[in-house]
Amino acid sequence: MKIIYAVDGSPHAEAAAELLKKIPFPADSEVIAASVLEEIPLSARAAEHVAPHVREKIHQERTENANTIVATVCDQLSDQFASVRKAILSGNPADQLTTLAESEGADVVVIGARGLNVLERFLLGSTSEKVLRHAPCSVLVAHLADASRETTRAPGRFRILVAYDGSPASDEAVDSLTRLPLAASTEILLLRVHTMVTAFRQDIKQCLSESWRQEELLARGALETAAKRLEAAGIHQVTTRMDDAGDATSRILSVAEEWQADLILAGNTGKSGLDRFLLGSVCKRLTRHAPCSVWVARTKQIAGA
């Protein structure tokens, strides 16, 4: 497996490194630690007063700093992965990371939810969101752990909540787990949320209809099939859950909080027509508001295909 790890020295990037250590990627996995030097924007007036040699000096210092940070990260990850190498790039971070992922044939891009940009301290980082939308492979968005979050589970456990809706994208999410040598301490919850129409108590009528019963039976069957695929891959701590809710994303987030998930795994698109053309609205909201890191699974696109 080939992994692109975005390094910028931010706390969220450090959280991404910790996540790389926790998730048991295959032993022969290769990591490319990439740092992108974004051009410092200067107004035309300000640029006139900055001599070329000063700009060159600034660029040199930034490059040296990036090299130092990336080298440190490579040392930290070298014991876990078969190959760790660095890449120092220049330009727009999202564009450069996406291009690198495509040229390297990466399987996943690992990136912090927010970078060092001031605005990104308050919003999902614009770089993260662009990479999530345009990357030719899966994207793992790392969030900082909430120090105030109380943990009641046994120590050493790693919990993955899979947002499963029966779509090909969510099946790809399940398959991505079967390709990992997950430890016996890993717990997986397959969650299926039925969206209810709650306006004017239509949910009561909806639940009483024969079509709803048939859909529920099919959904339970799909959940059990997905659980058996995981168990066949040697993952035995698998549970399934079906919930009804007016808003699927809100329910996924509340279950993740309640279950104290370490990672939410979801397919990059759902079943709606618009989701075939846009980044799935559920995934977008999950990466913005999740209490933990989020892995958006996507079938790898081959360059030139």
For the segment 124-129, the average pLDDT, to the nearest whole number, is 72
Asked whether the beta carbons of 40 and 58 are under 8 A apart, the reply is: yes
Asked whether the beta carbons of 32 and 5 are under 8 A apart, the reply is: yes
pLDDT in tens, 229-271: 999 999 989 999 999 887 889 999 999 999 999 999 998 864 4
Comparing 2-142 with 158-297, is the CATH topology the same? yes
pLDDT at 278: 41
Q: Where are the domains of the chain?
A: 2-142, 158-297
Closest CA to 23 of 129, 150, 159: 159
DSSP structure string for 106-127: -SEEEEESS-SSSGGGTSS-HH
Domain 158-297: which CATH number of 3.40.50.620, 3.30.360.10, 3.30.70.20, 3.20.20.140: 3.40.50.620
| pTM score, whole prediction | 0.83
Any residues with CB less than 8 A from the CB of 181 and at least 6 apart, and which? 24, 26, 27
List of E strands, the chain: 2-6, 30-37, 83-90, 108-112, 138-142, 158-163, 186-195, 238-245, 263-267, 293-297
Q: Exposed/middle/buried for 173, CB within 10 Å: 0-12, 13-18, 19+? A: buried
Q: Which residue has the higher pLDDT, 202 or 213?
A: 213
Residue 304 has pLDDT above 90, yes or no: no
pLDDT at 197: 55
pLDDT at 147: 63
Q: What does the block give as tokens for 196?
A: 């209810």
Q: Which residue has the higher pLDDT, 36 or 279?
A: 36
The domain 2-142: what is its CATH number?
3.40.50.620
pLDDT at 62: 83
Q: What average pLDDT does the chain have?
A: 82
pLDDT in tens, 286-298: 888 899 999 999 8
Residue 99 has pLDDT above 90, yes or no: yes
